[in-house]
């Protein structure tokens, strides 16, 4: 069984409390060595596909589901009134945020956690600020004026209303352990996230990902059946505050570090490295350890093609249209799109 067919086989709503999915051994055996060529490949739209539509907005997620992706990648924080909101940034971001008068924020704004949902949704995040370097980075992004920072509940409801009932959610808790005052602490954020997932009945379609591995330890304890994705970058691997106290130097390799961090839980375990840090050797080792490997954020055709050749289990990209075309060139099956209603 591949990791994707595991996901598919559990995509029915469970209702009420989650039930354990399958034996870890079955899942992990399935992850090992999965290769492109089957529908096991996981095409993920990063922030909903910010190369095409404003990041982390309902417009982007809806467009990605219509285009046809397996998974919507997104980031979350907690608002002042305790709602799970979809935002990459811990503060309002002047690169794509305008106030109620239509003025770009001149600098970083208030922390997300200091504002209620109503206050957050007074801002328009449907267009890039052309005066900033970040704003000039995504020339093909089509603005959608009027888009707001959505709540996670609104995203789940939108996908349900669209009929995108098979699309998966790869949800990243945005917590920086080196700046604990900037966000909610791991436990309140994880508990709020799990409650939202349960309310929407989407548990079988969710992966929780984080650079802050304390989050993933909590998920392993509170919802052990959920897939967990261990994000890594050169920066986070240098500082054990990100890796829940484990020192990377004590391990022979990053896959071994991830394997040790994830020990114990029955849910699938994914390693999500920055794509430029991945080598074929590390990929082979991760697969041998039973880890699925999903690199981020891969936007160039040549990189997509190379990583597909290596046999990664999926790719996270800002350009799901480009990845679909690379997959099509290779005769790989593509996820079906679900048009917005």
The contact set with Ca ion (CB under 5 A) reads 75, 172
Of 36 and 273, the one with the shorter C-beta distance to Ca ion is 273
Closest approach of ligand G3P to the CB of residue 229, in Å = 7
Of 18 and 46, the one with the shorter C-beta distance to ligand G3P is 46
The C-alpha atoms of residue 42 and residue 98 are separated, in whole angstroms, by 34
The one of Ca ion, ligand G3P, none whose footprint includes residue 127, by CB under 5 to 8 A per kind, is none
The one of Ca ion, ligand G3P, none whose footprint includes residue 209, by CB under 5 to 8 A per kind, is ligand G3P
Of 27 and 229, the one with the shorter C-beta distance to Ca ion is 229
Degrees, nearest 5: CA angle 121-83-219: 135
Please write down the HEC assignment for all residues of 155-190: HHHHHHHHCCCCCEEEEEECCCCCCCCCCCCHHHHH
Closest approach of ligand G3P to the CB of residue 277, in Å = 12
The C-alpha atoms of residue 141 and residue 98 are separated, in whole angstroms, by 17
The one of ligand G3P, Ca ion, none whose footprint includes residue 322, by CB under 5 to 8 A per kind, is none
Of 75 and 285, the one with the shorter C-beta distance to ligand G3P is 75
Closest approach of ligand G3P to the CB of residue 201, in Å = 24
The C-alpha atoms of residue 193 and residue 210 are separated, in whole angstroms, by 13
Burial class (CB in 10 A: 0-12, 13-18, 19+), 311: middle
Of 75 and 313, the one with the shorter C-beta distance to Ca ion is 75
The C-alpha atoms of residue 262 and residue 228 are separated, in whole angstroms, by 8
Of 18 and 297, the one with the shorter C-beta distance to ligand G3P is 297
Closest approach of ligand G3P to the CB of residue 44, in Å = 7
The one of ligand G3P, Ca ion, none whose footprint includes residue 272, by CB under 5 to 8 A per kind, is ligand G3P
Of 162 and 209, the one with the shorter C-beta distance to ligand G3P is 209
Binding site for ligand G3P (CB under 6 A): 46, 73, 75, 88, 172, 209, 231, 272, 296-297, 316
Closest approach of ligand G3P to the CB of residue 42, in Å = 12
Of 58 and 289, the one with the shorter C-beta distance to Ca ion is 58
Please name every residue paired with 209 in a beta bridge, in sequence order, or none if there are none.
Answer: 172, 229
- C-alpha 67 chain-centroid distance: 18
Burial class (CB in 10 A: 0-12, 13-18, 19+), 298: buried
Residue 90, phi-psi category: left (phi > 0), alpha (psi -120 to 50), beta (remainder): alpha
Degrees, nearest 5: CA angle 195-259-23: 60
Closest approach of ligand G3P to the CB of residue 212, in Å = 12
The one of ligand G3P, Ca ion, none whose footprint includes residue 316, by CB under 5 to 8 A per kind, is ligand G3P
Closest approach of Ca ion to the CB of residue 70, in Å = 16
Residue 159 contacts residue 59 (beta carbons within 8 Å): no
The one of Ca ion, ligand G3P, none whose footprint includes residue 210, by CB under 5 to 8 A per kind, is none
Nearest residue relative to ligand G3P (C-beta):
296
Burial class (CB in 10 A: 0-12, 13-18, 19+), 98: middle
The one of Ca ion, ligand G3P, none whose footprint includes residue 254, by CB under 5 to 8 A per kind, is none
The one of Ca ion, ligand G3P, none whose footprint includes residue 156, by CB under 5 to 8 A per kind, is none
Closest approach of Ca ion to the CB of residue 215, in Å = 13
Nearest residue relative to Ca ion (C-beta):
172
Residues 6+ apart with CB under 8 A from 161: 341
The C-alpha atoms of residue 271 and residue 283 are separated, in whole angstroms, by 9
């Amino acid at each position: 069984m591949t990791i994707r067919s595991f996901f598919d086989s559990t995509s029915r709503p469970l209702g009420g409390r989650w039930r354990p999915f399958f034996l870890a051994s079955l899942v992990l055996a399935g992850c090992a060595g999965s290769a492109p060529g089957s529908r096991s490949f996981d095409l993920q739209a990063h922030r909903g596909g910010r190369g095409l539509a404003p990041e982390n907005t309902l417009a982007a997620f809806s467009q990605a589901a219509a285009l046809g992706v397996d998974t919507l990648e997104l980031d979350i924080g907690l608002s002042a009134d305790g709602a799970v909101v979809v935002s990459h940034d811990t503060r309002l971001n002047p690169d794509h945020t305008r106030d109620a008068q239509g003025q770009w924020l001149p600098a970083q704004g208030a922390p997300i956690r200091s504002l209620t949902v109503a206050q957050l949704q007074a801002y328009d995040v449907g267009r890039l600020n052309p005066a900033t370097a970040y704003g000039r980075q995504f020339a093909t992004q089509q603005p959608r004026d009027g888009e707001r920072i959505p709540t996670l509940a609104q995203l789940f409801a939108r996908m349900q209303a669209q009929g995108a009932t098979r699309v998966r959610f790869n949800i990243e808790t945005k917590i920086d352990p080196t700046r604990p005052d900037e966000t909610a602490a791991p436990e309140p954020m994880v508990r709020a996230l799990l409650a939202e997932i349960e309310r929407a009945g989407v548990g079988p379609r969710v992966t929780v990902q984080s650079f802050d591995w304390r989050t993933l330890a909590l998920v392993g304890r509170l919802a052990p059946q959920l897939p967990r994705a261990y994000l890594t970058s050169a920066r986070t691997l240098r500082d054990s505050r990100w890796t829940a106290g484990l020192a990377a130097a004590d391990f022979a390799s990053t896959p071994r570090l991830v394997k040790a961090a994830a020990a114990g839980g029955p849910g699938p375990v994914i390693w999500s490295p920055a794509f430029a840090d991945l080598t074929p050797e590390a990929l082979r080792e991760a697969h041998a350890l039973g880890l699925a490997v999903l690199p981020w954020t891969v936007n160039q055709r040549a990189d997509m093609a190379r990583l597909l050749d290596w046999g990664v289990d999926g790719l996270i990209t800002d350009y799901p249209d480009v990845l679909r075309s690379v997959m099509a060139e290779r005769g790989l099956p593509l996820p079906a799109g679900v048009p917005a209603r």
